């Protein structure tokens, strides 16, 4: 198979059709938090799979009476001797707050899929596609489909088998991915590799190559007045604060019992002492050392994340690069995502609120188990805060990774080099994704791969580069060219 023909067609079709197809999907909302546009997007994806010749295309909805959204399933499996790729991605996106989508004093429509001249960091700018989901994750998902279309149009069939598992509730914690894998294990077990395509260039054109992800568990907390004290039926006037307790203060006491934030130490008994926590192994340590010999992790993180300073040590010195990597990737964590309770608008309202609640997420390092974390946090709440209602959401997953020496990682890495890219390898991604569920349940490796810069996922002005003012910064077309060659390499040289 002549991959130069594939590259030539991608370059010929990108502006005339590929970019428009990505824009079509960005214009279609698919917000999993409230379900806006989810069904419509799922239908659009199923049509794309069928157009490629996909079989058994259907929606897998295992939510039952729970709130949830379907996985779009389909497959092209015509020759067991071919490499079989499990294409996992997501089509749901985060909510938007349009009032925050302002650039150069101009309003940007979150689902407008506008093409804008945008400067992401000083000195780096260019033509960008802007809209919710263009980075995370509909942009790379549809660009991946564009590559599949090119293969199909040129050769009539794909040189590999492919199983589609496109999730509609990743932003909700992938609640039903585990049951999906269990139910479809026979079909999914035919896969040799899981591929998650993404735009992985940082703002100055260097590839960020994570070898794995951390785990995550979502937690909801609520404190209401009751026999223990506090208002029960309604908010009380604050003048009685001397004789009744406050759910809000009790809630704050509970939150403070979870973490010493100044020192980044979880206070829940057993969590930091868990014998299952494994720090960097010898290969991880070498990966970290190689990274730090070539790049400043702290400076890269500050620049890319718009962060002014990192945590300090006891001697008030900022974390070093090695310390920051280990703290971020290999240490248990917990974050408060949001708190709601009482009155917080303009003016004042002198009350003792009857209820306060919060959403939190717990990050799991390798290889701390979800069940262990839930057990220890539950024990802590039951013993010390019986007035706190807590609920661990059904989704969540543990950490997973592959070593850099793995043939799959080497294939992706060497191909980056063929594209003349600097590659910054890290043992894990700071974020989380359900790859580990597939890895553990199916015993297959996964790889997160792709070229092209994008940014501001989960934030206003989410963008992906079309054409940058610096030649070293790749755009969406470069992603398609890389993925085309990666698929060819997997089809010719990788079968587990």
CB atoms within 10 A of CB 495: 13
pLDDT at residue 3 in the model: 86
Q: Compute the average pLDDT of residues 44-51.
A: 98
- pTM across the whole model: 0.91
Instruction: Specify whether 140 is located in the same domain as 238.
Output: no
Instruction: Specify whether 12 is located in the same domain as 56.
Output: yes
Chosen domain end from 374, 392, 410: 392
Query: CA–CA separation, 73 vs 82, rounded Å?
Result: 20
Q: Compute the average pLDDT of residues 283-299.
A: 92
Torsion of CA 427, 428, 430, 434, to 10 degrees: 180
What's the structural domain count of the chain? Answer: 2
Residues ≥6 apart with Cβ < 8 Å to 234 = 354
- pLDDT at 312 exceeding the cut of 80: no
- pLDDT at 487 exceeding the cut of 70: yes
Instruction: Specify whether 95 is located in the same domain as 220.
Output: no
pLDDT at residue 314 in the model: 65
Chosen domain end from 392, 412, 433: 392
Instruction: Specify whether 226 is located in the same domain as 368.
Output: yes
**What pLDDT band is residue 308 in, cutting at 50, 70 and 90?**
confident
pLDDT at residue 222 in the model: 98
Digit-coded pLDDT (tens) for 149-189: 999 999 999 999 999 999 999 998 898 999 999 999 999 99
Instruction: Specify whether 219 is located in the same domain as 200.
Output: no
The HSE-up count of residue 285 (CA atoms within 13 Å, CB side) is 5
Instruction: Specify whether 386 is located in the same domain as 426.
Output: no
The packing angle between helices 38-51 and 138-155, to 10°, is 20
Domain range for residue 41? 3-211+402-493
Digit-coded pLDDT (tens) for 342-368: 998 888 999 999 999 999 999 999 989
Digit-coded pLDDT (tens) for 230-249: 999 999 999 989 989 999 99
- CATH number of the domain enclosing 434: 3.40.630.10
Is 285 a member of any domain?
Answer: no
Q: What percent of the chain has pLDDT over 90?
A: 83
Chosen domain end from 343, 365, 392: 392
- pLDDT at 2 exceeding the cut of 90: no
Instruction: Specify whether 26 is located in the same domain as 160.
Output: yes
Digit-coded pLDDT (tens) for 265-275: 999 999 998 87
Is 156 a member of any domain?
Answer: yes
Digit-coded pLDDT (tens) for 92-112: 999 999 889 999 999 999 999
Average pLDDT, the chain: 94
- pLDDT at 493 exceeding the cut of 90: no
Instruction: Specify whether 342 is located in the same domain as 452.
Output: no
pLDDT at residue 315 in the model: 67
Is 97 a member of any domain?
Answer: yes
Of the listed ranges 65-69, 94-98, 197-201, the one predicted with least confidence? 65-69
Q: Which of 326-330, 348-352, 382-386 has the highest mean pLDDT?
A: 382-386
Instruction: Specify whether 453 is located in the same domain as 374.
Output: no
Query: CA–CA separation, 466 vs 477, rounded Å?
Result: 7
CB atoms within 10 A of CB 86: 24
Residue 48: Cβ-neighbour burial (10 angstroms; 0-12, 13-18, 19+) = buried
- pLDDT at 494 exceeding the cut of 80: no
Instruction: Specify whether 367 is located in the same domain as 456.
Output: no
- CATH number of the domain enclosing 232: 3.30.70.360
Phi, psi torsion values for 65, nearest 5 degrees? -85, -5
- pLDDT at 191 exceeding the cut of 90: yes
Instruction: Specify whether 160 is located in the same domain as 254.
Output: no
Is 298 a member of any domain?
Answer: no
Q: How far apart are the first and last CA of the chain?
A: 22
The dihedral through the CA atoms of 121, 127, 131, 136 has a sign that is: negative
The HSE-up count of residue 295 (CA atoms within 13 Å, CB side) is 22
Instruction: Specify whether 161 is located in the same domain as 187.
Output: yes
Residues ≥6 apart with Cβ < 8 Å to 260 = 267
């Amino acid at each position: 198979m002549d991959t130069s023909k594939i590259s030539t067609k991608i370059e010929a079709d990108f502006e005339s059709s590929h970019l428009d197809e990505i824009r079509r999907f960005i214009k279609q909302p698919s917000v999993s938090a409230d379900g806006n546009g989810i069904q419509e997007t799922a239908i659009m994806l199923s049509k794309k799979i069928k157009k490629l010749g996909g079989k058994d295309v259907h929606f897998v909805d295992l939510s039952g009476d729970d709130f949830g959204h379907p996985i779009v399933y389909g497959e092209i499996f015509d020759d067991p001797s071919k490499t079989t790729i499990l294409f996992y991605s997501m089509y749901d996106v985060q909510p938007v707050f349009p009032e925050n989508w302002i650039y150069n004093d101009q309003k940007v429509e979150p689902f407008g899929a506008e093409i804008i001249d945008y400067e992401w960091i000083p000195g780096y700018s260019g033509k960008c596609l802007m809209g919710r989901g263009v980075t995370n994750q509909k942009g790379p998902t549809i660009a991946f489909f564009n590559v599949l279309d090119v293969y199909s149009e040129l050769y009539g069939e794909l040189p590999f088998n492919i199983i589609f598992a496109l999730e509609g509730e990743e932003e909700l914690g992938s609640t039903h991915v585990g049951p999906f894998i269990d139910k479809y294990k026979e079909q999914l077990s035919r896969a040799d590799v899981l591929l998650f395509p993404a735009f992985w260039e940082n703002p100055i054109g260097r590839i960020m190559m994570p070898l794995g992800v951390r785990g995550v568990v979502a937690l909801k907390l609520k404190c209401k007045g009751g026999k223990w004290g506090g208002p029960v039926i309604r908010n009380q006037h604050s003048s009685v604060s001397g004789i009744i307790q406050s759910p809000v203060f009790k809630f704050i006491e509970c939150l403070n019992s979870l973490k010493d934030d100044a020192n980044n130490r979880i206070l829940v008994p057993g969590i930091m002492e868990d014998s299952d926590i494994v720090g960097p192994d010898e290969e991880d340590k070498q990966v970290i050392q190689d990274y730090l010999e070539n790049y400043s992790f702290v400076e890269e993180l500050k620049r890319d994340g718009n962060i002014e300073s990192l945590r300090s040590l006891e001697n008030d010195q900022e974390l070093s690069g090695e310390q920051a990597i280990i703290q971020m990737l290999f240490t248990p964590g917990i974050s408060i995502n949001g708190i709601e309770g009482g009155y917080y608008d303009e003016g004042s309202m002198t009350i003792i609120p009857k209820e306060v609640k919060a959403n939190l997420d717990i990050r799991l390092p390798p290889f701390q188990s979800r069940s262990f974390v839930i057990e220890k946090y539950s024990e802590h709440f039951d013993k010390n805060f019986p007035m706190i209602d807590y609920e661990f959401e059904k989704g969540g997953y543990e950490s997973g990774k592959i070593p850099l020496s793995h043939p799959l990682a080497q294939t992706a890495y060497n191909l980056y080099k063929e594209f003349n890219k600097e590659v910054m390898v890290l043992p894990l991604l700071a974020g989380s994704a359900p790859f580990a569920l597939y890895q553990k349940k199916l015993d297959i490796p996964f790889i997160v791969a792709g070229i092209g810069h994008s940014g501001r996922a989960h934030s206003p002005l989410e963008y992906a580069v079309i054409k940058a003012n610096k030649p070293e910064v790749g755009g969406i077309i470069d992603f398609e060219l890389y993925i085309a060659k990666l698929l060819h390499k997997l089809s010719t040289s990788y079968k587990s």
